[in-house]
Amino acid sequence: MLRTTALSHTFGGHKRPVRALDGVCLTLAPGEVRCVAGSSGSGKSTLLRCLLGLLQPDEGEVLWRDVPLHTMNRGQRLAFRQAVQPVMQDPASSLAPRMRVRTQLREPLRIQRSCSRDQEDKRVDEALEQVGLERALGRRFPHQLSGGQQQRVAIARALIVQPTVLLVDEPTSALDAVVAMQIALLLRDLVERLGLTLLAVTHDPTLPHHLGATVDQMAAGRLVGQVSAAQWLAQARAAWQGLRAIPE
């Protein structure tokens, strides 16, 4: 459905170039739930931005239903933008601070001009319900919400245009452990209920486990192998115990 041929991307000029992506081949099949997991700076966000067409790779291409993103015509591009929705890292900064929740949920529908005001309201109510938020919360501004509620709004905003694929950047990194688990389980539930395809990039040891996802490990811009969610968790535990073993 969504795939890449050896993607590479380098930031910076000639002086200190950073090869953020280095030959990344990834295939996302319909209905698949996948995590790309790696430490901070390994290139996860850069990969997502390339997959969304927000950043041009230096080498390789991203294909949506076998059409390279950079060759798409206007109609194909609009269809791609509707079908593949991002949930960006850090909901607090990805939501518009001065817009009430309802208004920012309605915004993508306004732009599409695909439905009437009544239909827009219905879609907004539906999206709020899908992410487990009460309608009354729609009247609030983002700063009047908890971190978990903000993340739910960010997910609702992605769902509002009825996508088939969600690309999610570190959905749990700004949240405490319990709320992080609730968000992970919400994503899993949405995948099942709506038949979505999901790719989440993360450094959270538990997210792949809660999502029931396989894990592609990423390091220094490369995919370095696949492990199960259980193996990924065990590796993180071992690393943590190694740290704790250091005497004070």
Listed residue (101, 57, 123, 52) closest to 81, CA to CA = 52
Residue 10 binds ligand ADP, judged by CB under 6 A: no
Distance in Å from the first CA to the final CA of the chain: 51
> Cα torsion for 143, 144, 149, 150, to the nearest 10°?
-20
Residue 174 binds ligand ADP, judged by CB under 6 A: no
> Which of ligand ADP, Mg ion, none is residue 41 near (CB under 5 to 8 Å by kind)?
ligand ADP
Q: What does the angle CA 224 – CA 227 – CA 228 come to, to the nearest 5 degrees?
A: 160
Helix (H, G, I), strand (E, B) or coil at 107: helix
Q: Which is nearer to ligand ADP, 183 or 201 (CB)?
A: 201
Please report how close the Cβ of residue 54 comes to Mg ion at its closest, in angstroms: 13
Binding residues for ligand ADP, total number by CB under 6 A: 12
Binding to ligand ADP (CB under 6 A) within 40-79 occurs at: 40-46
Please report how close the Cβ of residue 85 comes to ligand ADP at its closest, in angstroms: 18
Residue 11 binds ligand ADP, judged by CB under 6 A: yes
Binding to ligand ADP (CB under 6 A) within 103-162 occurs at: none
Q: What is the pattern of x (binds ligand ADP, CB under 6 A) and - over residues 208-237?
A: ------------------------------
Give me the amino acid identity at 44. K
Q: Which is nearer to Mg ion, 112 or 173 (CB)?
A: 173
> Which of Mg ion, ligand ADP, none is residue 177 near (CB under 5 to 8 Å by kind)?
none
Q: Which residue has the tokens 């239909």?
A: 119
Beta bridge partner(s), residue 63: 3, 68
Q: Which helix (H) or strand (E) holds 85?
A: strand 84-87
What is 111-170 written as a DSSP string? HHT-S-HHHHHHHHHHHHHHTT--GGGGGS-GGGS-HHHHHHHHHHHHHTT--SEEEEE-
> Which of Mg ion, ligand ADP, none is residue 18 near (CB under 5 to 8 Å by kind)?
ligand ADP
Give me the amino acid identity at 139. R
Pick the binder of ligand ADP from 2, 20, 69, 211 (CB under 6 A): 20
Instruction: Give the binding site for Mg ion (CB under 5 A).
Output: 44-45
Residues that bind ligand ADP (CB under 6 A): 11-12, 18, 20, 38, 40-46
